[in-house]
Amino acid sequence: MDSLYTLTTTVNGRIHTRVVEPRMLLSDFLREDLALTGTHVGCEHGVCGACTVLVDGVAVRSCLMFAPQVDGCAVETVEGLAPGPDRLSLLQEAFRETHALQCGFCTPGILMTIKAFLAETPDPSETEIRETLGGTLCRCTGYQAIVAAVTLAAARLRTQGASP
Amino acid sequence: MKPAPFQYLKARSLEEALAAKAALGDDARFLAGGQSLIPTMNFRMAQPTALVDLNGLTGLAGIAEQPDGTIGIGALARHRDVERSAVIARWQPMLVEAVREVAHPQIRARGTLCGNLAHADPMSELPAVMLALGARLTAQSVSGQRMIAAQDFFRGVFTTALSAEEMLVHVAVPPLQAGTGTCFLELARRKGDYAMAGVAAVVTLDDRRLCRSARLAYCAAGETPVLAEPAAGLLVGAVIDADSAAAVGTAAAEVLAPTGDVQAGADYKRHLAAVLTKRALLAAADRARGA
Amino acid sequence: MTNRHFGAPERRLEDPKLLTGRAVFTDDIVRRDMLFAAFVRSPHAHAAIRAIDTAAAAAHPSTVAVFTAADLGDVLRDVPLVVPPPPIDGLVFNKRTQRALAHGKVRHVGEPVAVVVAHSRYEAEDAAALVTVDYDPLPVAAELEAAAHAEAPQVHDGVAGNVAAIAHQMKGDYDAAAAQAAVVIRRRFTYEHGLAQPLETRGVIAEWDSGQERLSVWASTQAPVSLRGGLADMLGLTESRIHVVAPFVGGGFGSKLLMYYPEEIVIPWVALRLGRAVKWIEDRAEHFVATSQERGQIHDAEIALDANGVILGVRDHFLHDTGAYNPYGLTVPINAQCSVLGPYVIPNYDSRFTAVFTNKPIVAPYRGAGRQHGVFVIERLLDLAARQLGMDVAEIRRRNFIPPEAFPYRNGITFQDFTELTYDSGSYGPILDRLLALVDYDRFRREEQPRLRAQGRHVGIGIVSYIEGTGIGPYEGARVRIESNGRVTVATGVGTQGQSHYTTFAQIVADHLGVPTDAVDVVTGDTDRFHWGVGTFASRGAVVAGNAVNEAAEAVRDRLIAVAAEALGCPAARIVLEDGRAVDRDHPDKTLALGDAARRANPMRGAVTPGTQPGLEETRYFGPDAGTTSSGAHAVIVEVDPETGMVEIKTYVVVHDCGVMINPMVVEGQVRGGVVQGIGNAFYERMVFDAAGQPLNATLADYLIPTAMEAPTITLDHVTTPSRQNRIGIKGVGEAGAIPVGPAFAQAVEDALAPLGPGLEVLDIPLSPDRLWRLVDRAKQQCGARQIDALTMT
């Protein structure tokens, strides 16, 4: 049982090996060790959802995992969403079109939550969308535009037969 | 809000995990989902000296139906797995109903059923459901295994029958009798919050549609989940209708000892428990009639 | 100028960065050799500090330094007042402001006592836990009414009754008016507003460059220019030696105003002292006790009306909880005092408030900033009056609206901006008409509600009107420059926290210069890019900075046209600006690209003649003599489960008037977001302290911010009454949605439960299922008692 832990993880398709203190939260590991600051820290007690990332395809709170726990896992963050440097994914574009973000601080966590959600629920009801968004707080928008964005993105993804 | 330092062991086998816990003692904790433990560590309200991480033990993640209809749920089965299990949906729908009230999808993606039970938060839904369903819990340590009935498992706030060396490795939920309907109902301030009151109702009807047996268990009702046996017993032999259900709700609420908090007073919570009991019994009876 | 961009629902220019994780927020900034700070905070609401032992913390292997008040030298003094009190006759005001670190006493839980600097935040917290403070607990003044007693424990020595301020404003003669009234209604109202809780907490990074002798500060603030001034004052530095940057800011809602927050002073001071960059990011646990809050007021109010429901006068005496210190002066209670007047003609008004120190965190503006409290009082008084007079709630409002011909309307009392409270324009009747049509009010009353009531369901409607003072001075400025590549740069001193300024300011400029909005780069919140300004708060950013942007763009346009006319050899009147070029209208083949015009205005040879300046650049300042007045009306239909006290919002409709809209999509976002904060205020959010001043629900699991499951779908419509205060006719919109939700909710719940008996009155916000159940219980008992009385009489 060492006081430091060496972990190897794939983040947005890139492999990283780092030595960390076991107590390093996944959120801080992504932000500080990997300089992926798109994942935001809002509460550090698992309520606000701003830090949500995908671990092996599942949306989780990165403030409620320790970095060693993603040893051997594939992590996806908001930085991995866009198809290219000057392009937005269909989901991101839908958020822009419907004004589903204002200050944008909660947005990365919501995008990651919805990416996982739409992959499993391609034709969601409004209630399903709202239940899923229930795990992420937004203080600016009042959520209506986010619900609209998710609905719009789902419809377009179905038309294109694409995954989010 | 950063956790204090701790030693970390990623267990490669159950035996290794149990041996480590036995060696490290009370100040070490098992880490399964961590969705209750890690927030308290971030607030530094919990400062375990070591964490034994069980997440590599994928062999403990199973949910399986046994030949007698019992459903077995392993230590690493996550809420999300329970929520999506076809076997559970078919045979124990109340468990799905209740687990969907546990926090939010991102929490349910990590949190485990066994971890939730071992945490023994009396506010939590699932201990009450286990009482209502008469689940049997398996504790294991380096010295062996033992079975604990759900009724004997919860001893106080965050306190269980587990010793410092034991891990809750398995939960067995026995099959429902024929003619049984179940319902879990709760009221929370927001969806996903801990409930102000919550009830798990199990009703079995005889072929004349009279109540053969009933079980009622409550979360947010005291220092442990509460099984209201005498009140539920009032229903035996009776028709379950609005009047009888309301009477049982009132009787059950009298034995509950909820704690008032900033959201709701104890008297209000007790009142809610009575109202929810009535509603849950009527719904469970309806389902039993359809069963 | 033709409006192609101004007024259009254009997609936001800031979104690509925010959607891809490229937007840089304060916590994303890393400086070389950066250290991390954690604060040691008081666990007591009121205590004397006997001794602080930092030895163990200093000995921690990661610790670089530990500082307490004793180390601060000249910086240890009461911070200045941010907003002095307005000139009101007979005003009592006791200034008591905080210090950078507590010295001698702590006066609220969370007050910082020491700061620990280490190599990581984790280690800074490890070491901070080793600081031991010997406290001598003192009696606590926690609850507002108790704190106002003459014998209450004193938050500040020598301030008996904890009087922070007393302000009495009057017009007319209320007593004489009440003497003639057909109806006088008197009630006690309590209204608690909550916490801003932006998703991004506060944070500061400071770095001292000894070579340049400059202090750089990155802060999550709504007022970077004001913060620079405050730091210069506290640290004794020349303002120009301080560079403050507010990068992307994750929401503010008032909580990130200039407050002389201790951390904003201490972190730059530590950076100067150590000569190294230092970062402090507030965590959520700190946020609940270290950042300003709004809380409660207790209003004893009465209204006098004639038999037709026409208001003769209002009297309102109230207590305001200002917390342990009052750096932000009287903004919140003055707003409450002024908001009671609403959109109504109230000829006689007698309003007196006492602001009271308590051993709780500082109270300062949070979205609405006291307006909620005032609007609740007048709207509830009108509802109760309507009930007593047997009038419809919409009709009693209509009878009292300020008529369209009465604008500008002078209210005869002083507003928070020191001017007489004056409404520039408004269309209160048409707004209400539109609202009633959208919610189908008559049909609801005539058919829907009776039908549902017959089914035993408890469904009710609330209809409220409100005004919001917005767009106050003193001023903002903007510089518009055409760059040599044809792009346009706009710089202003306001901060931005999600209000879409990167887009709306670009929209203003684009039409003037004939460029697409995405050719306009807006810079806000960087004091080196624009020196002057005040900040983004009080629904003023778009109005005040927007008008400065407009005027600067117009001036650049004039210069651009002059340069183009000369270059193209045609009269200026023939120059048209389109597609990034100046065109001779009569010879469309003769064009000058904007970049070429910019280069032409900055020649390498030849003189810039006296009285002119190089480049296509202009700076303008806009300083309105008074604010703009937005207005609106909300309707909500709720269903109440009287057995449980749970409430479901079935319908929510807003009709809003913020004058001319720059971008309706942005306006709608502001309103909807505001409404959901208002719903939080009405039914979910309440910061609870016990009698010892301890916060009881300082987590996001216990302080209930509405989620998508609690937020309704909101129907929105606009009425446009241009402002008379500025040439583009715009008014502010930032706070509007949040303001009238409490009284709308209260009225709807009361209406839903009306069948339970006439005694049920909702006089307190926030409601909760528990509170509602108790109201229902009491109403049933009263109703039962009446029935028994009736039986006895027969």
Domains assigned to chain A: 5-80 (3.10.20.30), 90-160 (1.10.150.120)
Mean pLDDT of chain B: 97
What does the alpha-carbon distance between residue A46 and residue C23 come to, in Å, rounded to a whole number? 23
8 A C-beta contact, residue B75 and residue B60:
yes
Q: Which two tokens stand for residue C194?
A: 């909550």
CA distance C763 to B107: 38
pLDDT on residue C368? 95
Q: Chain C: which residues have CB within 8 Å of chain B?
A: 121-122, 125-126, 129, 283-285, 643-646, 684, 686, 688, 696-697, 701-702, 704, 706-707, 709-710, 768-770, 773-774
Which helix (H) or strand (E) segment holds residue C510: the answer is: helix C501-513
Within 8 A of A143 by CB-CB distance, chain C residues are: 676, 707-708, 711
Among A44, A71, A135, beta carbon nearest to B104: A135
Do A24 and C676 count as a contact with CB atoms less than 8 A apart?
A: no
**Pairing of β C476-482 and β C92-93:** unpaired
CA distance A9 to chain C (A): 20
Q: Do A65 and B9 touch (CB under 8 A)?
A: no
Which residues from chain A sit within 8 angstroms of residue C677, using beta carbons? Answer: 139, 142
DSSP code per residue over chain B: --PPP-EEEE-SSHHHHHHHHHHH-TTEEEESS-TTHHHHHHTTS---SEEEE-TT-GGG--EEE-TTS-EEEETT-BHHHHHH-HHHHHH-HHHHHHHTTSS-HHHHTT-BHHHHHHHT-TT-HHHHHHHHHT-EEEEEETTEEEEEEHHHHEEETTEES--TT-EEEEEEEPPPPTTEEEEEEEEESSTTSPEEEEEEEEEEE-TTS-EEEEEEEEESSSSS-EE-HHHHHTTTTS---HHHHHHHHHHHHHH--PPP-SS--HHHHHHHHHHHHHHHHHHHHHHHHH-
Question: Phi and psi dihedrals of C218, rounded to 5?
Answer: -110, 125
Closest chain B residue by Cα to residue A52: B106
Average pLDDT (C701-720) is: 98
CB neighbour class for C230 (10 Å; exposed up to 12, middle 13-18, buried from 19): buried
Asked if residue C557 lies in contact with residue C512, where contact means CB atoms within 8 angstroms, the answer is yes
Q: Pick the residue of A21, A25, A29, A60 with the most B CBs within 10 A to test the interface with B by mutation.
A: A60
CB atoms within 10 A of CB C73: 10
Best of B104, B116, B119, B193 to mutate (most A CBs within 10 Å, chain A): B104
The ipTM of this complex is 0.98
By C-alpha distance, which of B283, B122, B288 is closest to B217? B122
Q: Please identify which residue in the block is written with the tokens 């003072």.
A: C469
Q: What angle do CA C195, C196, C202 make, to 5 degrees?
A: 110
In this predicted model, what pLDDT tens digit does every residue of C517-533 receive, in sequence order?
999 999 999 999 999 99
Q: Which of C697, C699, C691, C45 is nearest to C360 (CA)?
A: C45
Residue C786 is predicted with a pLDDT of 63
From the list B34, B50, B190, which residue is nearest A65 (CB)? B34
CB contact under 8 A, A103 and C251: yes
* The predicted structure's pLDDT at residue C539: 86
CB contact under 8 A, C20 and A78: yes
Q: pLDDT for C461-493, tens place per residue? A: 999 999 999 988 899 999 999 999 999 999 999
Q: Which of B4, B192, B272 sits opposite C126 (nearest CB)?
A: B4
Q: Within its chain, how far is the Cα of C690 from the centroid?
A: 27
* Residue to substitute from A76, A96, A102, interface C, most C β-carbons within 10 A: A102
DSSP H or E run through C791? helix C769-793
Hey, is the C-beta of C726 within 8 angstroms of any chain A C-beta? no
pLDDT digits (tens, 9 = 90+) for C534-574: 888 888 989 999 999 999 999 999 999 999 999 999 999 99
Mean of the pLDDT values across residues B76-87?
97
| Interface mutation vs chain A, best among C11, C19, C121, most A CBs within 10 Å | C19
Average pLDDT over residues C494-517: 95
Cα–Cα distances in angstroms (integers) from residue B38 to residues A18, B12, B146, in the given order: 22, 21, 28
Minimal C-alpha gap between B2 and chain C (Å): 6
pLDDT digits (tens, 9 = 90+) for C212-230: 999 999 999 999 999 999 9
**Tens-place pLDDT, residues C129-181:** 999 999 999 999 999 999 999 999 999 999 999 999 999 999 999 999 999 99
Pairing of strands C311-323, C348-357: parallel
Cis peptide before C408 (omega within 30 of 0): yes
**Shortest Cα distance from B101 to chain C (angstroms)?**
13
Question: What are the pLDDT digits (tens) for C187-201?
Answer: 999 999 999 999 999
How far apart CA C508 and CA C622 sit, in angstroms, is: 15
Tell me the pLDDT tens digit for each residue of C744-786: 999 999 999 999 988 899 999 999 999 999 999 998 888 776 6
Per DSSP, C416 falls in state: T
What's the CA gap between A65 and A81, in Å, rounded? Answer: 22
Q: Find the range with the poorest average confidence among C75-84, C483-492, C598-607.
A: C598-607
Identify the three-state secondary structure at position C524. Answer: strand
Q: Note whether A63 contacts B: Cβ–Cβ < 8 A.
A: yes
Kindly calculate the radius of gyration of chain A based on its CA atoms and give it in whole angstroms. Answer: 16
Q: Which two tokens stand for residue C620?
A: 């303008």
With CB atoms and an 8 Å threshold, state whether C702 touches B262: yes
C368 Cα to chain A: minimum distance (Å): 14
Min Cα distance C612 → chain B (Å) is 57
> Nearest-CA neighbor of B202 among B239, B241, B246, B235?
B235
The span from the CA of B119 to the CA of B38, in Å, is: 12
Q: Is the pLDDT of residue B230 over 60?
A: yes
Backbone angles phi, psi at C299, to 5 degrees: -110, 125
Query: What was the pLDDT predicted at C794?
Result: 42
Please, which chains are in contact with A (at least 3 CB pairs closer than 8 A)?
Answer: B, C
Nearest CA to CA, how far is B68 from chain A (Å)?
Answer: 33
Cβ atoms of B187 and B272 closer than 8 Å: yes
Res C3 pLDDT > 80:
no
pLDDT score at A85: 87
**Closest residue in B to A129 (Cα–Cα):** B105
Q: Which whole-number Å values give the CA distances from C30 to A33, C365, C495, in the listed order?
A: 12, 31, 21
Position of tokens 């959109």?
A: C343
Residues 284-303 of C with CB under 8 A from A: 284
Hey, what domains does chain C have and what are their CATH numbers?
Answer: 15-22+473-622 (3.30.365.10), 32-138+214-250+258-287 (3.90.1170.50), 296-472+626-790 (3.30.365.10)
CA distance C549 to C571: 27
Q: Which residues of A touch C12 (CB under 8 A)?
A: 96, 99
Cα A23 from chain centroid (whole Å) = 21
Q: Which of C340, C341, C350, C281 is nearest to C315 (CA)?
A: C350
Predicted confidence at residue C758, as pLDDT, reads 80
**Token pair recorded at residue C644:** 């449980």
Long-range contacts of C585-594 (CB under 8 A, 24+ apart): C592/C563, C592/C564, C592/C567, C592/C568, C593/C486, C594/C482, C594/C486, C594/C488, C594/C513, C594/C514, C594/C515, C594/C560
pLDDT at B291: 65
Contacts A104 to C, Cβ<8 Å: 14-15, 18-19, 23, 248, 250, 498
Of A24, A48, A130, the CB nearest to C700: A48
Q: Is pLDDT above 60 for A115?
A: yes
Question: Is the CB of C674 less than 8 angstroms away from the CB of A142?
Answer: yes
Q: How many CB pairs lie under 8 A apart between chains A and C?
A: 174
Contact B105 A135 (CB under 8 A): yes
At C662 the three-state DSSP class reads coil
Tell me what pLDDT residue C790 has: 54
pLDDT at position C208: 97
